[in-house]
């Protein structure tokens, strides 16, 4: 009874008594077909439940209506909100997001990019600007639009939609200084191939240096972005002397880990120890005390990146970078030096 094979454009054409070209036109440039014809075709389409074959379309048009994104990870919520925003924008334009994760590994990122390219994505959204030059060379060799997010284009000519990580971190460090802290430590993300992490460290260092303080192996620990790593880092910092009175963290996940570690060590936050984060993910507001952190405009970054990549689809004049401003969100985890 049921014809298992899905209907093809030819079936629609037959049912509507027109040619396949006309059906195709109804789908792709409805304006060019007469109203009366179009409605007949549309009826046939919906009666048959026709839906164009993606591969065939991609083959004929050399366009997939898919854009790809490679993010470091989905495990923590850092990129989730931004991606959701990207998706919202894309789906308004009948475009799908193909997502891949690199696990913060540049080789893995390169492979994922290759996979996405192979699938013929029409554009690519990548996080940050630090990656091996081979990867950049590969990107150059295919001519598809690329947008980098979470960065401001300091070290690349690609279009960037993000913010100034260094300045934001500097601002945070300055605030910590303003609260009277002098024994300040930092738990940073792994800086290798992670420009965001590196710039945040630089920003903190600038502020400390300007205040006559140092940021070096004694008070800086790199840790992967996880709760455990954060907790562990704090334990190591606290075993040194002088003990820090404030810990600036490379992101909120680390800060949450440090907070957890502080609790385990019986330290009161912020009385004994102030903690700050970065990114302002939801987690930051639900912790007790709330995390003082840098608010990043996730959604606006996502929207803008999506818009930009769609624009570049048709209009390849390089539209400029966007650098959003960030806000400091002061919550309970930061207090004056004890």
Partner DNA sequence: TGAAAAACTGTAAGCGCTTACATTCGACGA
Partner DNA sequence: TCGTCGAATGTAAGCGCTTACAGTTTTTCA
Please state, in angstroms and as integers, the Cα–Cα distance from residue 189 to each residue in 72, 196, 240, following that order.
Answer: 13, 9, 20
Minimum CB separation of residue 15 from DNA in Å reads 12
**Selection from 196, 280, 282, 273 nearest residue 235 by Cα:** 273
Beta strands in 47-172 (DSSP E): 66-71, 96-101, 123-127, 146-149, 159-163
3-state secondary structure of 76: coil
Chosen from DNA, its own copies, none, partner binding at 19 (C-beta under 5 to 8 Å by type): DNA
Binding part of the chain for DNA, among 59-67, 79-87, 210-218, 314-322 by CB under 7 A, reads 59-67
Minimum CB separation of residue 42 from DNA in Å reads 12
Binding part of the chain for its own copies, among 58-66, 170-178, 191-199, 214-222 by CB under 8 A, reads 58-66
Regarding 293 and contact with its own copies (CB under 8 A), the answer is: no
Regarding 6 and contact with its own copies (CB under 8 A), the answer is: yes
Query: Which are the contacts of 219, defined by CB distance < 8 A and separation ≥ 6?
Result: 183, 184, 185, 186, 237, 240, 244
Regarding 260 and contact with its own copies (CB under 8 A), the answer is: yes
Q: Note whether 126 and 69 are within 8 A (CB).
A: yes
Chosen from DNA, its own copies, none, partner binding at 18 (C-beta under 5 to 8 Å by type): DNA
Beta strands in 66-209 (DSSP E): 66-71, 96-101, 123-127, 146-149, 159-163, 184-188
Among residue numbers 230 through 259, which ones bind its own copies (CB under 8 A)? 256-257, 259
Q: Using H for helix, E for strand and C for coil, what is the string for 237-306?
A: HHCCCCCCCEEEECCHHHHHHHHHHHHHCCCCCCCCCEEECCECCHHHHHCCCCCEEEECCHHHHHHHHH
Of 37, 87, 226, 260, the residue at the interface with DNA (CB under 7 A) is 37
The rounded Cα 195 to chain-centroid distance in angstroms is: 13
Chosen from DNA, its own copies, none, partner binding at 264 (C-beta under 5 to 8 Å by type): none
Of 39, 43, 47, 61, the residue at the interface with DNA (CB under 7 A) is 61
Minimum CB separation of residue 330 from its own copies in Å reads 18
**Selection from 123, 70, 149 nearest residue 316 by Cα:** 123
Q: How many amino acids of this chain bind DNA (CB under 7 A)?
A: 30
Chosen from its own copies, DNA, none, partner binding at 27 (C-beta under 5 to 8 Å by type): DNA
Nearer to its own copies, 42 or 154 (CB): 42
Chosen from its own copies, DNA, none, partner binding at 33 (C-beta under 5 to 8 Å by type): DNA
Q: Which residues bind its own copies (CB under 8 A)?
A: 2, 4, 6, 49, 51-59, 64, 66, 73-77, 80-81, 83-84, 87, 96-101, 114-115, 117-120, 141-143, 227, 256-257, 259-260, 263, 282-283, 285-288
């Amino acid at each position: 009874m049921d014809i298992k094979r899905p209907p093809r454009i030819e079936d629609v054409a037959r049912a509507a008594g027109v040619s396949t070209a006309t059906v195709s036109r109804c789908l792709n440039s409805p304006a060019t077909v007469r109203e009366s014809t179009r409605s007949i075709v549309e009826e046939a389409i919906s009666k048959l439940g026709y839906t164009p074959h993606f591969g065939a379309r991609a083959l004929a048009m050399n366009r997939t209506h898919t854009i790809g994104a490679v993010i470091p990870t989905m495990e923590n919520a850092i990129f989730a909100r931004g991606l959701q925003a990207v998706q919202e924008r894309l789906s308004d334009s009948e475009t799908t997001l193909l997502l891949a994760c690199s696990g913060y590994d540049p080789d893995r990122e390169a492979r994922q990019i290759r996979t996405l390219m192979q699938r013929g994505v029409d554009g690519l959204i990548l996080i940050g600007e630090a990656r091996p030059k081979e990867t950049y060379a590969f990107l150059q060799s295919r001519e598809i639009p690329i947008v980098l997010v979470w960065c401001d284009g300091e070290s690349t000519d690609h279009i960037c939609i993000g913010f100034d990580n260094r300045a934001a971190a500097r601002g945070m460090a300055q605030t910590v200084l303003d609260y009277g802290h002098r024994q300040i430590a930092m738990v940073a993300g792994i800086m290798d191939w992670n420009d965001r992490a590196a710039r945040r460290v630089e920003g903190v260092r600038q502020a400390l240096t300007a205040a006559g303080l140092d940021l070096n192996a004694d008070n800086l620990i790199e840790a992967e972005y996880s709760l455990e790593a954060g907790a562990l880092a704090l334990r190591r910092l606290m075993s040194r002397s002088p003990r820090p009175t404030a810990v600036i963290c490379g992101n909120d996940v680390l800060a949450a880990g440090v907070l957890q570690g502080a609790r385990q060590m019986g330290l009161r936050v912020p009385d004994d120890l102030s903690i700050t984060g970065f990114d302002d993910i939801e987690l930051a507001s639900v912790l007790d005390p709330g995390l003082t952190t840098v608010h990043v405009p996730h959604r606006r970054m996502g929207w803008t990146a999506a818009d930009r990549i769609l624009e570049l689809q048709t209009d390849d004049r390089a539209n400029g970078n966007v650098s959003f401003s960030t806000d400091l969100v002061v919550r309970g985890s930061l207090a004056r030096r004890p």
